[in-house]
A = this chain, B = another copy of it.
Amino acid sequence: MSSRRPAAASAALVALDCLCYSLRDGRLTLLIRSEQERGVRAELPWVPLPSGRALTVAVRRLFVESLGASPAWSETVAPIGDGAAHPSGAELSILVLALMPAGAEAPPGTRWCPVTALPALGARQASAAAIGIPALRDRMDRSPVAFRLLPEAFTLSELQQVYELLLGRRLHKASFRRALQGAGLVEAMEEWRSEGRGRPAQLYRYSPKRRRSGRRPVRFDLLG
């Protein structure tokens, strides 16, 4: 702890790994860089973090190169990097969570892969992919995660399906709508959508009105 300023030799190889989710046919999907040739493994989109480049700049480059566009939402999450190898050889991976709305095109060289049927990834990126969904779940209370996975106009049934996908359990329809109503988060449009059979559903848009209490209750039951 004597020398405060480390030599350049202490620089570490850092990669930014992209966990970009979207919806496809009612399933949660992850953006994967396709195997280009025989023997080359599928991988998550990634870029190196070059020396002297600010994190946000590198993240922007990751989005431009890998998504061809800005995601509807993104957040940097905790770094990982022990033991498991990365395609770049980087000893450290910074995970970038990103969301694209349902129906977004996969850029050339990539494809949307159902999270239930991912191809084999390298060890590091396999860990990353395992972290992705729980990380999304952790954030959906505080960030409009579900809304960013949907197009601008959506039905309440679609929104509920997204919540159910992310939480991995069924929700009660009446309760879900009551809570949503109470939060003043969505705005009804003067538009209806009919899909196959059944009564057409009214379309809504995300339009948060008031910041509510934010008085999160204490929860002990997730501990242990």
A130 close to chain B: CB less than 8 A: no
CB atoms of A51 and B91 under 8 A apart: yes
Q: Interface digits, A1-39 against B, CB 8 Å rule (1 contact, 0 not)? A: 100111011111110000000000000000000000000
Q: Interface digits, A76-104 against B, CB 8 Å rule (1 contact, 0 not)? A: 11111111000111111010000000000
Say whether, besides A13-B8, A49-B92, A224-B212, A218 and B185 are in contact (CB < 8 Å): no
A199: B residues at CB distance < 8 A: none
A173: B residues at CB distance < 8 A: none
This chain: how many copies in the complex? 2
A82: B residues at CB distance < 8 A: 54-56
Chain B: CB-nearest residue to A5: B89
CB atoms of A53 and B163 under 8 A apart: no
Chain B: CB-nearest residue to A209: B224
The bracket for how many chain A residues form the interface is: 35 or more
A5: B residues at CB distance < 8 A: 88-89
Say whether, besides A5-B89, A78-B77, A87-B1, A51 and B12 are in contact (CB < 8 Å): yes
Q: How far is it, in angstroms, between the C-alpha of A30 and the C-alpha of B176 when the chains are bound?
A: 41
A157 close to chain B: CB less than 8 A: no
Q: Which of B4, B50, B65, B141 interacts with A223 by CB under 8 Å?
A: B141
A180: B residues at CB distance < 8 A: 220
CB atoms of A185 and B81 under 8 A apart: no
CB atoms of B76 and A78 under 8 A apart: yes
Instruction: Write 8 A-B pairs (CB below 8 A) sorted by A numbering.
Output: A1-B47, A1-B66, A9-B51, A54-B83, A54-B91, A55-B79, A79-B79, A79-B94
The 8 closest A-B pairs by CB, nearest first: A208-B224, A11-B11, A183-B220, A212-B221, A6-B48, A10-B50, A10-B48, A141-B219
